[in-house]
């Protein structure tokens, strides 16, 4: 696994990048998240994570234990995450895929089928979810 990609590469190299994008709350980062992110990164050579903001979590009817700033710092510390952007609404995926020229959208298979409409823009891959671990379980231990 190569080191984190240097964002300052020139336009030629940037245009050859195979950008993978994924989205989530990533609360209390755990091995299920790591498995998903590592496999997603291996589908390309540049991984962008759309990280749900605290406000968007409210829309998702989901409350994170950790605030956005902490969840972001944890993701940015992972060498196979190249960029983190705020996820503010469901609809932004289309914009992001075009903006970042993503060739693959990856989500865990608990979302299977939910984003098939985006197959007109890029590959959509649903990866097997890691069993028996979730942020909800971890929160119950705090
Ligand atoms: N995941 C996994 N295995 C687990 C837990 C989570 O593979 N044991 C995956 C999920 O399928 C998702 C990603 O890790 O692809 C992030 O999970 P969450 O933080 O729970 O994200 P979610 O609330 O599903 O938000 O627009 C999409 C949403 O923002 C997804």
Please write the tens of the pLDDT for every residue from 125-135. Answer: 999 999 998 98
CA of 32 to the centre of ligand 1 (A): 8
66 CB under 6 A from ligand 1? Answer: no
- For residue 117, give both structure tokens: 């409409």
What mean pLDDT is predicted for residues 87-91?
97
CA of 33 to the centre of ligand 1 (A): 7
Q: Show the domains of the chain with their CATH numbers.
A: 16-141 (3.40.50.620)
pLDDT at 7: 66
pLDDT at 30: 96
Residue 2: is its pLDDT beyond 80?
A: no
Closest residue CA from atom 5 of ligand 1: 32
Nearest to 98 by CA among 124, 119, 117, 122: 122
pLDDT at 14: 72
pLDDT at 34: 98
pTM for the whole structure: 0.93
In the numeric block, the tokens 């890691």 are attached to 130
Adjacency order of strands within the sheet including 19-24: 83-87, 46-52, 19-24, 102-108, 123-127
């Amino acid at each position: 696994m190569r080191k984190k990609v240097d964002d300052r590469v020139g336009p030629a190299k940037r245009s050859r990048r195979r950008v993978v994008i994924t989205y989530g709350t990533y609360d209390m980062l755990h091995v299920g998240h790591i498995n998903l992110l590592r496999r997603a990164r291996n589908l390309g050579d540049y991984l962008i994570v759309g990280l749900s903001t605290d406000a968007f979590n409210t829309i998702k009817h989901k409350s994170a234990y950790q605030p956005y700033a902490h969840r972001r710092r944890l993701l940015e510390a992972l060498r196979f995450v190249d960029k983190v952007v705020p996820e503010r609404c469901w609809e932004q995926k289309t914009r992001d895929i075009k903006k970042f020229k993503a060739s693959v959208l990856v989500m865990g298979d608990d979302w299977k089928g939910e984003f098939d409409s985006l197959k007109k823009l890029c590959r959509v891959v649903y990866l097997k979810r890691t069993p028996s671990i979730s942020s909800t379980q971890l929160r119950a231990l705090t």
